[in-house]
Amino acid sequence: MGRRPPGRHSGCSLSAAVGLCKAGHSVAWILGLWAGVALLSAAAAAAGYGLLGGTSPATVAVVQAFAVGAILTMLADTMMPEGFENAGNSVGLVTCAGFIAAFLLGHAG
């Protein structure tokens, strides 16, 4: 599969993938990129578990706070503006509901 002409985006619907399609990358290239990101994320999670598995709850809390900050930054910078543009003001409420659900599930047991 070669590069797709800039005007054609069929098969790309995820926000970041649309930009890559517009840049002319093929769907196969984009899927390979995301597969690589998933593999690196899994390796980082395994390394973190191996290196920090026996640390204190305070250390785990600091690492989790850093991770939550990174996720909130990504949401606020990249995803929420596009969400407000496409779905309106309900995006903020839905985002808050998602974080509340994640918090409750994380403390459920």
> Are 64 and 106 found together in one domain?
yes
> Are 60 and 85 found together in one domain?
yes
Backbone angles phi, psi at 102, to 5 degrees: -65, -40
Low-confidence ranges of the chain (pLDDT < 50): 1, 4-9
The tokens describing 11, both together, are 């098969």
Last residue of a domain, one of 53, 74, 96: 53
Say what the pLDDT of residue 11 is.
62
CA 81, CA 98: separation in Å to the nearest integer? 17
> Are 19 and 65 found together in one domain?
no
> Are 22 and 33 found together in one domain?
yes
Say what the pLDDT of residue 83 is.
82
> Are 23 and 61 found together in one domain?
no
Say what the pLDDT of residue 62 is.
94
Say what the pLDDT of residue 4 is.
46
Say what the pLDDT of residue 9 is.
47
Owning domain of residue 37: 1-53
Which amino acid, one-letter code, is at 108?
Answer: A
